[in-house]
Amino acid sequence: MHRSAPRLTRILACAAVPVMLVVAGCSSDSDSKSKDSATASPTPEAKKSPTVAPATFGKLPEPCDSIGEKTIEDLVPSAKSKSGTEGKSSDISRRGSCSWNGLDDNGVKGSQYRWLDVSFLRYESDATLAVSAEQRAEESYDKEIAKAQASEGAKDVKTSPAAGIGDEATTVTYKLRKTGEDFTYATVVARTENGVVTLTYNGTGYAGAKNPSTSDITKGAVKAAKEAVASVATANK
């Protein structure tokens, strides 16, 4: 009996060793995970979409109401329709146009033909491309000027800034021969915030009548363009 006591003590001591090792192992693993959690880098925030300035103008004016009746009478005498002919548009909030034309017959003194056209373009901001409505209008403005300068058959093309119209404006003048007559043209391209206005005025003399001068046609185009540009802001009040 006395001999078995020390032996039992040794057996119990040996049996306790694995248990202590297991506990120690678990404690070590737990500490490791805790340290890993503490040192792990924070989850990066999702990239935010770029912000761009909203469009200033949300709509366009009625194209045929953008130029006053008095101006139409002065620039297009004997107009077929004083109220104008509105162009077709799939989205009138973004684009629109109107034109007037007429032949003022002066009998033996000949006749004067005049044609006036105005078009409007409006742009929205594009957040996906980080491009504002105004930036898009600026790009369109440059393209409209280039288009006027490259008019097929145009001769004596001249370009000059047009002061006092919108945020920026340019006048392009040229001569063009068609239907056997020499026509004088003036195109005014203007940008007002996120809108672009392109106005073209031209004319010729028939049956011996003197052709209009570039100066007179340009003055008429600038006068009408100022009214058209001002109508954009009025429509958005």
Distance CA 201, CA 226 (A): 13
According to the model, what pLDDT value does residue 44 have?
52
With a threshold of 0.75, does the pTM exceed it? yes
Q: What's the token pair of residue 147? A: 């288009």
Distance CA 185, CA 214 (A): 7
Distance CA 98, CA 118 (A): 6
Q: Does domain 63-235 have CATH number 3.40.1000?
A: yes
Q: What is the CA radius of gyration of the chain?
A: 39
According to the model, what pLDDT value does residue 212 have?
97
According to the model, what pLDDT value does residue 22 have?
38
Task: List the chain domain ranges.
Answer: 1-40, 63-235
According to the model, what pLDDT value does residue 49 have?
58
**What mean pLDDT comes out for the span 134-149?**
98
According to the model, what pLDDT value does residue 204 have?
97
Query: How confident is the model over 26-72, as pLDDT tens digits?
Result: 444 545 444 454 455 555 555 555 688 999 999 999 999 999 999 99
HEC letters along 165-231: CCCEEEEEEEEEEECCEEEEEEEEEEEECCEEEEEEEEEEEECCCCCCCHHHHHHHHHHHHHHHHHH
Asked if residues 115 and 147 have their Cβ atoms less than 8 Å apart, the reply is no
Assess whether pLDDT exceeds 90 at residue 112: yes
Q: What percent of the chain has pLDDT over 90?
A: 75
C-alpha 177, offset from chain centre: 33
- Amino acid identity of 168? E
